[in-house]
Amino acid sequence: DSGVTQTPKHLITATGQRVTLRCSPRSGDLSVYWYQQSLDQGLQFLIQYYNGEERAKGNILERFSAQQFPDLHSELNLSSLELGDSALYFCASSATGGANEKLFFGSGTQLSVL
C-alpha cells in the first residue's frame, strides 16, 4: 500500500458531463501530481501542486482543472467529457516535490466516458 488514496476507483459517465476525481496524498507529503494513462498516449503528466500552489503544468486540457486544498488533498475536475477522455487517472505524491524524490502512486481512477 503506497499510502495514496484515490476515489472513486471506477467512474462511468456520459459525454458532456463533469466529474471530480479525488486524491489524498501520503501522510506528510506536500506535493501532488496527476497523470493520465491511456493505451495510445502512455503515461501523460497533467499537473503538479505543492502545498496548495500549482508548481508545474503538463498536457492538461483547458476542460480539465485541479486544485490542492489546505488539508493537502487534491481534486481533478474534468468537464465537457469526450469519449477520448476515457483513461486511467493516477494521483501521486512526494514529500516536497524535489527532483530526486520518488513518487508514490495511488491505484488510480478508471474513467469510462460512454
Partner 1 sequence: AQSVAQPEDQVNVAEGNPLTVKCTYSVSGNPYLFWYVQYPNRGLQFLLKYITGDNLVKGSYGFEAEFNKSQTSFHLKKPSALVSDSALYFCAVKTPGGYQKVTFGTGTKLQVIP
Q: Which of 62, 70, 71, 100 binds partner 1 (CB under 8 A)?
A: 100
Subset of residues 12 to 51 that bind partner 1, contact rule: CB under 8 A? 33, 35, 42-43, 45, 48
Subset of residues 62 to 91 that bind partner 1, contact rule: CB under 8 A? 90
Cα separation, 17 vs 101, in Å, equals 36
16: cell is 458532456
- Which residues partner with 12 through β-bridges? 112
Cα separation, 95 vs 108, in Å, equals 19
CB closer to partner 1 out of 47 and 78 = 47
Output the smallest distance, CB 16 to partner 1, in A: 28
Q: How far is CA 28 from CA 20, 34, 86, in A?
A: 23, 18, 31
Q: Which residues bind partner 1 (CB under 8 A)?
A: 2, 4, 33, 35, 42-43, 45, 48, 55-56, 58, 90, 92, 97, 99-100, 102-108
